[in-house]
Chains A and B, each alone.
Chain A
């Protein structure tokens, strides 16, 4: 069947610059570039180009330009190129539209409508290069009060706190499963988390044996498919996370195609090689809140009550009430994943239309837990579209204890957000299991890039905190007075619990 889809990108090659080195030919797993020996020329199949810019980045002579195809479908506000292409694709295949990464639609990004405060005159700003500036964060359930034994020179802690996860910066790497991403990517995340003193999350794909040594910085996920969940796996982790939902695809499960299930993945996930790994939409042992409580306690019991248990949900309409129930069910950490949260594969319609922005969910959950007087009983971690240190600061000021970054971490490793993770052909060696591609990501270099990113963001957070006259992150957490909205409606401001700029 002839495809009606017009190429999204044009590949332009400057013949004066091109030295026929064929780097582009070798680098493109989508087979866009082809060298014709007879003509001594490199040609491009532009219809195959996904816009990942691997070829452009690696071309030694800067001979390549990949740009949007300026050919327009007839102008129409409703029937855009994307809409038409989606329909053509489905007419040609009869399938569900698939995509990768997070929602790319223009739902209002509240981070960009919030500005931060700084000290002027009445209090001094603090110079983080000269004064201490503390970002250390502990995740886990906190008591209402601590009891200290007094009398006769005794001065001892009598309250035993629930287990806590220590982070040197309030930024963690989000759940990215082995299978969706390559082993090398997992290794980069694990090593960088260990070096910086934070945590990464295994996602639902289990934990490769070789990465157990970074267990002190690993959050091991238990999802509906229970892939790779066994006693050693739980034991290896610093904390556990029950994955109920994911911002990119709330309410649905996952599907790792059999082609991706290699020997190593088969062993790690504990499924036969080459079989599809299907995560059911719900946990089939959690059909209500009391079932969640049972799983939380089962995991705590299995690990001797030594590890905090997180529960991750997609940010949906009633997140506040759900989060309250989760805290009461014994969750030590509430992880919220917003509509912009990424994924290795999701149905496009779900990714782009289900869930709510993380900013609103966070504001609602933090406020609700405070109204109920249980905010201290769980930490709140947010994910889904955190792009910079400024986003982190705003999230913490809205009420988050820490953030997860997924997309930003992958971008640090080379990802250009082409949204084709589900094809398994990632030219950057990230979302693929093809050995020819995965070796492109050098764990040494990748680790360095991730450590640099977290170091840079942490420095920026310190600068912003210092400007506010604050020298510990806990004085920012939930401190919404240091935020102002710009161009938001009354209703939005009320939901975010902040004032408009100028007020």
Chain B
């Protein structure tokens, strides 16, 4: 599906834009990288600024190499809570013009503005960064025979990212935003002035890619709608995960593992209606020998999940934080080849690659633990976020 009113431009004309924005000059099978991840949430929905996130992620500097850092923050746009917010990076004015034409044709755009930044050592060659608060036009949604505006949004994001040269949407949820780029994460945070935003869930990522061609779109978090993913690891099953998702209309254009996780989560939870716990049972499925020992109903359920979604099993080392407007979920691969630590202090919840940064930002934190391989840690808002309907239905076993 291509939303009506869109124009297709001949691909590959602007070499410069290609390398800056579509970026991947080295056509490896995918991106390989090691990383630091950190997540912090207030279960009561109390909003806090991004300063502790910068402190925490900077404390794991050894895990990144200055070629990518980023943040996702939830609850930061309460004044536009009902509108989708596009964060878009542009390599040139042409890409911006074409994207804005496309948006104008398909959305009613309430607000368009530059994302505020300030010059910062360690951050250079930034693309043009814009954000748009918008609602899909009903006529356009129904013209595509879609009932759910979320589906329309996903298609619109795919369309911009795959078809418009020099434009890349890196955030597309409501009342949330992703901020990312090339640099150490703490520098990227200062560049985006994150101490001026207040959110109740924050996640951060520092990246250590193996190739030297870093590009802004390739940094984490990856986002689709209000799902964001930060990820440490390498998905050895990437080839089949990608091919399976392609069957359901997801175009994996970025060649990153993380993108695959974001789309898998969207497919399983939003489109197929699985709980977050069951989603974890797909992405980091229990071993057959464990399934065989489960009580009958549970065994039947997990057998069916593995039979049906075997192609979405994430194999290889990973730890990941998946977040949405109401939840922050930590998950590692089945045999825990990458680190993840969880912490809780009253309403304050933490997930991190290492334990130290949690204590650094919360001196009174005492309860920390290391989850088992494949065991999801689901931190949930006490009251589901208002702008996400039916969120209760997703409730997995909240910790």
A interface residues, Cβ below 8 angstroms from B? 119, 122-124, 126, 131-132, 134, 136, 138, 140, 142-143, 145-148, 150-151, 155-157, 159, 161, 164, 370, 373, 375-376, 468-472, 474-482, 499, 503
Beyond the given A474-B311, A478-B244, please list 13 additional residue pairs across the A-B interface where CB-CB is below 8 A. Answer: A122-B210, A131-B335, A134-B288, A151-B393, A161-B307, A161-B308, A470-B236, A471-B315, A472-B315, A476-B237, A479-B237, A480-B243, A499-B29
Whether the Cβ atoms of A475 and B337 lie closer than 8 Å is no
Whether the Cβ atoms of A132 and B315 lie closer than 8 Å is no
Set of chain B residues within 8 Å of A132, measured between Cβ atoms = 287, 289, 335
Set of chain B residues within 8 Å of A119, measured between Cβ atoms = 236, 316
Whether the Cβ atoms of B29 and A481 lie closer than 8 Å is yes
Given contacts A124-B337, A132-B335, A146-B304, contact A477 B275 (CB under 8 A): no
Contact flags B234-248 to A (C-beta < 8 A → 1, else 0): 101111100110111
The 6 A-B residue pairs with the shortest CB-CB distance in the complex, in nearest-first order: A481-B239, A474-B310, A475-B237, A475-B315, A479-B239, A145-B272
Whether the Cβ atoms of A122 and B32 lie closer than 8 Å is yes
B32 vs chain A, min Cβ distance (A): 4
User: Which residue of chain B is the closest to A480 with respect to CB atoms?
Assistant: B239
Whether the Cβ atoms of B317 and A150 lie closer than 8 Å is no
Whether the Cβ atoms of B239 and A150 lie closer than 8 Å is no
Q: How many Å lie between the Cα of A146 and that of B274 in the bound state?
A: 8
Within 8 Å by CB of B238, from A131, A156, A375, A481, lies A481
Q: How many Å lie between the Cα of A7 and that of B365 in the bound state?
A: 88
Set of chain B residues within 8 Å of A131, measured between Cβ atoms = 335
Q: How many Å lie between the Cα of A476 and that of B288 in the bound state?
A: 17
Q: Tell me, yes or no, whether B334 is within 8 Å of chain A by CB.
A: yes
Set of chain A residues within 8 Å of B16, measured between Cβ atoms = none
Within 8 Å by CB of B335, from A126, A474, A503, lies A126
Set of chain B residues within 8 Å of A148, measured between Cβ atoms = 273-275, 278, 301
Within 8 Å by CB of B300, from A122, A147, A157, lies A157
Q: Tell me, yes or no, whether B313 is within 8 Å of chain A by CB.
A: yes
Q: Tell me, yes or no, whether B34 is within 8 Å of chain A by CB.
A: yes
Whether the Cβ atoms of B236 and A123 lie closer than 8 Å is yes
- Best-surrounded residue of A124, A164, A468, A475 (most CB of chain B within 10 A): A475
Residues 303-348 of B at the A interface (beta carbon under 8 Å): 304-311, 313, 315-317, 334-335, 337
Set of chain A residues within 8 Å of B233, measured between Cβ atoms = 123
B266 vs chain A, min Cβ distance (A): 13
B52 vs chain A, min Cβ distance (A): 30
Q: Tell me, yes or no, whether B297 is within 8 Å of chain A by CB.
A: yes
22 residue pairs of the A-B complex, CB under 8 angstroms, read A122-B34, A123-B234, A123-B316, A124-B337, A126-B335, A132-B289, A145-B271, A146-B272, A150-B275, A155-B301, A161-B308, A164-B307, A370-B243, A373-B247, A376-B308, A470-B237, A471-B334, A472-B315, A474-B240, A478-B311, A479-B237, A482-B239
Whether the Cβ atoms of A470 and B247 lie closer than 8 Å is no
Q: How many Å lie between the Cα of A8 and that of B118 in the bound state?
A: 85
Q: How many Å lie between the Cα of A245 and that of B274 in the bound state?
A: 41
Whether the Cβ atoms of A479 and B301 lie closer than 8 Å is no
User: Which residue of chain B is the closest to A136 with respect to CB atoms?
Assistant: B288
Whether the Cβ atoms of A469 and B315 lie closer than 8 Å is yes
Given contacts A123-B234, A475-B313, contact A138 B239 (CB under 8 A): no
Whether the Cβ atoms of A478 and B304 lie closer than 8 Å is no
Set of chain B residues within 8 Å of A471, measured between Cβ atoms = 315, 334-335
Set of chain A residues within 8 Å of B240, measured between Cβ atoms = 474-479
How many contacting A-B pairs (Cβ < 8 A)?
A: 124
Whether the Cβ atoms of B316 and A469 lie closer than 8 Å is yes
B75 vs chain A, min Cβ distance (A): 26
Set of chain A residues within 8 Å of B273, measured between Cβ atoms = 145, 147-148
B13 vs chain A, min Cβ distance (A): 24
Set of chain B residues within 8 Å of A164, measured between Cβ atoms = 307
B393 vs chain A, min Cβ distance (A): 6
Given contacts A470-B316, A471-B334, contact A150 B236 (CB under 8 A): no
Whether the Cβ atoms of B304 and A161 lie closer than 8 Å is yes
Q: How many Å lie between the Cα of A131 and that of B287 in the bound state?
A: 11
Residues 242-282 of B at the A interface (beta carbon under 8 Å): 243-244, 246-248, 271-275, 278
Q: How many Å lie between the Cα of A471 and that of B373 in the bound state?
A: 13
Q: How many Å lie between the Cα of A156 and that of B233 in the bound state?
A: 32
Q: How many Å lie between the Cα of A126 and that of B336 in the bound state?
A: 12
Whether the Cβ atoms of B246 and A370 lie closer than 8 Å is yes
B276 vs chain A, min Cβ distance (A): 11
Set of chain A residues within 8 Å of B308, measured between Cβ atoms = 142-143, 145-146, 159, 161, 376
Q: How many Å lie between the Cα of A470 and that of B288 in the bound state?
A: 15
Whether the Cβ atoms of B307 and A150 lie closer than 8 Å is no
Whether the Cβ atoms of B234 and A122 lie closer than 8 Å is yes
User: Which residue of chain B is the closest to A121 with respect to CB atoms?
Assistant: B210
Given contacts A157-B297, A376-B308, contact A124 B313 (CB under 8 A): no
Residues 15-74 of B at the A interface (beta carbon under 8 Å): 27, 29-30, 32-34
Set of chain A residues within 8 Å of B246, measured between Cβ atoms = 370
Q: How many Å lie between the Cα of A126 and that of B337 in the bound state?
A: 10
Set of chain A residues within 8 Å of B305, measured between Cβ atoms = 146
Set of chain A residues within 8 Å of B309, measured between Cβ atoms = 146
Set of chain B residues within 8 Å of A138, measured between Cβ atoms = 307
Q: How many Å lie between the Cα of A124 and that of B317 in the bound state?
A: 7
Q: How many Å lie between the Cα of A425 and that of B300 in the bound state?
A: 50
User: Which residue of chain A is the closest to B237 with respect to CB atoms?
Assistant: A475
Q: How many Å lie between the Cα of A471 and that of B374 in the bound state?
A: 13
B300 vs chain A, min Cβ distance (A): 5
Set of chain A residues within 8 Å of B311, measured between Cβ atoms = 376, 474, 477-478
Q: How many Å lie between the Cα of A157 and that of B297 in the bound state?
A: 8
Set of chain B residues within 8 Å of A474, measured between Cβ atoms = 240, 306, 310-311, 313
Given contacts A122-B210, A477-B310, contact A159 B393 (CB under 8 A): no
Whether the Cβ atoms of B301 and A469 lie closer than 8 Å is no
User: Which residue of chain B is the closest to A138 with respect to CB atoms?
Assistant: B307
User: Which residue of chain B is the closest to A160 with respect to CB atoms?
Assistant: B304
A381 vs chain B, min Cβ distance (A): 16
B246 vs chain A, min Cβ distance (A): 7
User: Which residue of chain B is the closest to A147 with respect to CB atoms?
Assistant: B273
Given contacts A134-B287, A474-B310, A478-B311, contact A157 B301 (CB under 8 A): yes
Q: How many Å lie between the Cα of A150 and that of B238 in the bound state?
A: 30
- Best-surrounded residue of B27, B248, B337 (most CB of chain A within 10 A): B337
Set of chain A residues within 8 Å of B313, measured between Cβ atoms = 472, 474-475
Given contacts A472-B315, A482-B239, contact A375 B247 (CB under 8 A): yes
Within 8 Å by CB of A150, from B247, B335, B393, lies B393
Set of chain A residues within 8 Å of B317, measured between Cβ atoms = 123-124, 469
Q: How many Å lie between the Cα of A164 and that of B300 in the bound state?
A: 13
B201 vs chain A, min Cβ distance (A): 23
- Best-surrounded residue of A142, A146, A148 (most CB of chain B within 10 A): A146
Q: How many Å lie between the Cα of A126 and that of B96 in the bound state?
A: 46
Q: How many Å lie between the Cα of A475 and that of B264 in the bound state?
A: 14
Q: How many Å lie between the Cα of A479 and that of B316 in the bound state?
A: 13
Whether the Cβ atoms of B275 and A468 lie closer than 8 Å is no
Q: How many Å lie between the Cα of A136 and that of B286 in the bound state?
A: 13
B50 vs chain A, min Cβ distance (A): 30
Whether the Cβ atoms of B239 and A478 lie closer than 8 Å is yes
Set of chain B residues within 8 Å of A146, measured between Cβ atoms = 272, 274, 304-305, 308-309
Given contacts A134-B288, A150-B393, A481-B29, contact A470 B315 (CB under 8 A): yes
Q: How many Å lie between the Cα of A132 and that of B308 in the bound state?
A: 21
Q: How many Å lie between the Cα of A161 and that of B238 in the bound state?
A: 26
Q: How many Å lie between the Cα of A145 and that of B247 in the bound state?
A: 13
Set of chain B residues within 8 Å of A477, measured between Cβ atoms = 240, 310-311
Q: How many Å lie between the Cα of A122 and that of B210 in the bound state?
A: 8
Q: How many Å lie between the Cα of A29 and that of B304 in the bound state?
A: 53
Whether the Cβ atoms of B304 and A157 lie closer than 8 Å is yes
Set of chain B residues within 8 Å of A503, measured between Cβ atoms = 27
B356 vs chain A, min Cβ distance (A): 24
B289 vs chain A, min Cβ distance (A): 7
Q: How many Å lie between the Cα of A136 and that of B288 in the bound state?
A: 8
Set of chain A residues within 8 Å of B236, measured between Cβ atoms = 119, 123, 468-470, 475, 482
Set of chain A residues within 8 Å of B29, measured between Cβ atoms = 481, 499
